[in-house]
Amino acid sequence: MRNKTEVRIFGQKFTLRSDQSEERMQEIAAYVDGQIQEVLSKSPGISALNAAILAALNIAGQYHSLKQEQDEAAVRISHKAEILSSLFE
């Protein structure tokens, strides 16, 4: 079931539709808004568009770092599972 939620990011209202809960969508919107505000606080005078783009790049960088960590952990777990499995053969 797709939930419909209104959120505010950088003072603008957006209507989101997602399988996520309303609470989760609000959390995500607040995170994005916080990232934009952080960019703006570090670079006064930057345009809203550029702040949004830099925030998106920061979020993408965080995502890719976490994805790489997850992939590496999955490989380590798989390797250890193979070792454990061979002990029972």
pTM of the model: 0.81
Question: Pairing relation of β-strands 12-18 and 3-9?
Answer: antiparallel
Looking at the 3D structure of the chain, how many domains does it have?
1
Dihedral, CA of residue 80, residue 84, residue 86 and residue 89, to nearest 10: -160
Q: What is the pLDDT of residues 33-63, one digit of tens each?
A: 999 999 999 998 999 999 999 999 999 999 9
Domain encompassing residue 19: 3-87
Whats the size of the chain, residue-wise?
89
Residue 89: is its pLDDT beyond 80? no
CA–CA separation, 89 and 49 (whole Å) = 59
Q: Which residue in 31, 27, 5, 32 sits closest to 16, CA to CA?
A: 5
Query: What letter would DSSP give residue 3?
Result: E
